[in-house]
Amino acid sequence: MQKAVVLGGSYAGLFAARVLSDHADEVVVIEADGQVDGSAGHGAPQRQQLHALLGMGHTQLEVQFPGITRELVDAGALLGSGSAVRFYVDGEQKADVPGDQNQMIGATRPFIERHVRRRVLEIPNVRIQAGRAQDLIIRGSRVVGVHYSAGKATDGTSGPGSELEADLVVDAMGRSSRLGAWLQNHGWDAAPTERMRIDLGYATATFTRGRELPDTVIAHATPGPASGYQPTLCEPGAIAAVEGNRWAVVVSGYAGHRPGRDPDQFRDRMLRCVAPLQEIAQSCEMEGEVLPYSFRESQRREFSRLTRFPGGLVAVGDSVSSVNPIYGQGLTLAALQAASLSAHLRSGVSVHTPAWDYFRRIAGIVDAAWSLSTSADLAQPHVSGPYPRGYRFTRWAADKITQASVVDPIVNTVFMNVLHMRAHPKSLTRPRVLLRTARVLATR
């Protein structure tokens, strides 16, 4: 390939650029929102919310950017494993997971992304350019470039329009990507989109970190089967010790129970959560404001279900799928899709033909993440579907396995491998896991 163009320079776009730098003479990332100098813009407002990087996401980060964990830790991030990373269900602390299998980084998303961006900018054949992509250029059966408006004036208006030719265009424009509309304008079909309305509310606040909880990096609490997945026994929430001696704290709720901006209400929720959140609420000072965020629905665009698609075009990250953030899958999905793109390109196919092989690869990954998050969301009374086939059995089995994982390290290890996206959710229904679950629950 001579040139690859990535539309969107956030997490997925940066990973795609990293992978493409191995296959193209030149990689240009077009980013609409002031990312060129590394400053955080408004293009992905969810950046300010607490982001957890799952185990597989961390592995992929280190695969694409060797040594980055060390850099992050040297710059102030924390690395936790064993009892420094604790998960709670219905207020009860889950069984320990051995060794590093539970290892997680305590850092904010802008901090991790800044380091990733710096590493990408160090790659000689990659450049990031300010601009807003406006349309595809399609000739015959393939995408050959993009129209974009260069730069962005301080009054928000766009600069003059330009064109960029490319062998491969990558849509990394996030969940509001206009790719489908652009394709339709050119006489192609948009990918069918599956949605699940969940009406989730999120709020993040930052607290000073002193001597409290010296052995904690991450704590994460969710309602579970004992409360019918309602916040009656314990409010959902999470904390992460992050760079700059701070705690990032998130609380969440569905439908009528969504958190707002009020700092007192935020603290009240923390006090109704598990011990680590209570301790921070009682002994730490809130820095700045509570930042709420509304997440109406999970969605996935199923490119592999199309029968026609132009060559020279792929999509990554939230433009493909954007699922309930409580399960922290987005960054890991973006990284796994970049890995799939790498495998696809290494297979030697021409990028000028439709990337069916790539879309099939990512369909399996997205499907696993989607089934995990939506099967839990369907336990909420206000979520009305769509229900997948076999949902009642899956729900029943998931409840039992969750209960067993609270007390049993073996079941919890399998469970956490799925949660960290190191294993497919199907591994939870292996006979030996189900047998162990039955035994654990019978003796409890």
Residues that bind ligand FAD (CB under 6 A): 7-13, 30-33, 35, 43-44, 46, 49, 51-52, 57, 132-133, 172-174, 202, 293, 295, 317-318, 325, 328-332, 334
Find the shortest distance in angstroms from Cβ 33 to ligand FAD: 4
What is the radius of gyration, based on Cα positions, of the chain?
Answer: 22
Closer residue to ligand FAD in complex, CB, 284/336: 336
User: 10 Å Cβ neighbour count for 388?
Assistant: 12
Closer residue to ligand FAD in complex, CB, 55/231: 55
Closer residue to ligand FAD in complex, CB, 241/440: 241
Closer residue to ligand FAD in complex, CB, 133/440: 133
Contacts of 202 (CB under 8 A, 6+ apart): 49, 250, 251, 252, 259, 292, 293, 294, 295, 325
Closer residue to ligand FAD in complex, CB, 125/129: 129
421: left (phi over 0), alpha (psi -120 to 50) or beta: left
d(CA 324, CA 78): 25
Find the shortest distance in angstroms from Cβ 204 to ligand FAD: 8
| Omega cis (within 30) before 386 | yes
Closer residue to ligand FAD in complex, CB, 49/405: 49
Closer residue to ligand FAD in complex, CB, 9/91: 9
Q: Is 153 exposed, middle or buried, given 0-12, 13-18 or 19+ CB atoms closer than 10 A?
A: exposed
Q: What is the DSSP letter of 246?
A: E
Find the shortest distance in angstroms from Cβ 251 to ligand FAD: 12
Find the shortest distance in angstroms from Cβ 113 to ligand FAD: 8
Closer residue to ligand FAD in complex, CB, 54/226: 54
Find the shortest distance in angstroms from Cβ 349 to ligand FAD: 23
Amino acid at 174: G
- Nearest Cα to Cα of residue 13 among 190, 104, 133: 133
Closer residue to ligand FAD in complex, CB, 51/269: 51
- 3-state class of 47 per DSSP? helix
Find the shortest distance in angstroms from Cβ 419 to ligand FAD: 12
Find the shortest distance in angstroms from Cβ 393 to ligand FAD: 29
Strand order, beta sheet including 92-93: 92-93, 85-89, 218-222, 237-242, 246-254, 193-208, 286-301, 321-322
| Omega cis (within 30) before 225 | no
Amino acid at 330: G
Residue with token string 């290892």 = 103
Find the shortest distance in angstroms from Cβ 213 to ligand FAD: 20
Backbone angles phi, psi at 227, to 5 degrees: -105, 10
Find the shortest distance in angstroms from Cβ 401 to ligand FAD: 23
Q: Give start and end residues of each alpha helix (H) in 26-108.
A: 55-64, 68-74
- 3-state class of 279 per DSSP? helix
